[in-house]
Homo-oligomer: A and B are copies of this chain.
Amino acid sequence: RRAEMAKVSQLIDDEVFRAYATYAAIVLVKMMLMSSITGYFRFTRKAFANPEDTASFGKGESAKKYLRTDPDVERVRRVHLNDLENIVPFVGIGLLYALSGPELSMALLHFRIFTGARILHTFAYLIPLPQPGRGLSWAVGYSVTFSMAYKVLKTAWLL
């Protein structure tokens, strides 16, 4: 068993893979925090999607008024969906990229720019900053993932 373990953990001993694991975990945790922020706004704005969630605010008609959409809740939900659309491809393509033998410096460059851009994107969306702040931070992260996809396809190509 110990011998087997060792073989598998060779992957986590590789510096590029460790960098990937660090940044992938950071952006996934960042994405998950959007759930908590949505919950925070749902409770403070009293805006829920399910009848059973409003039961503690009263019965019948008095609870029904909390079944509504709220601009702040919807905004956080758009950040969350945008994260799903961008962070999930980064995690998938980034794994293949980390296994495609890039230089550590190049890999760190990709991971750092992507992570920075997505953190900026979240602040730009939630504050909100005037455009094109949010648009640019989105485009930077998007381009980094495409750059990694290009390296993966160049290295692995087998159709």
Binding site for B on A (CB under 8 A): 1, 4-5, 7-19, 21-22, 24-26, 28-29, 31-32, 34-35, 49-50, 52-53, 55-56, 75, 78, 80, 84-86, 88-89, 91-93, 95-96, 98-101, 112, 125, 128-131, 134, 142, 145-146, 149, 152-153, 155-159
Contact = CB atoms under 8 A, between A and B. Distances in A.
Contacts of A86: 32, 35
Given A145-B32, A157-B22, A5 B12 contact: no
Nearest to A85: B35
Chief secondary structure at chain A's binding surface: helix
A14 to B, nearest CB: 5
A93 B4 CA distance: 21
The number of times this chain is found in the oligomer is 3
A35 B83 CA distance: 12
B88 A84 contact: yes
A70 B37 CA distance: 27
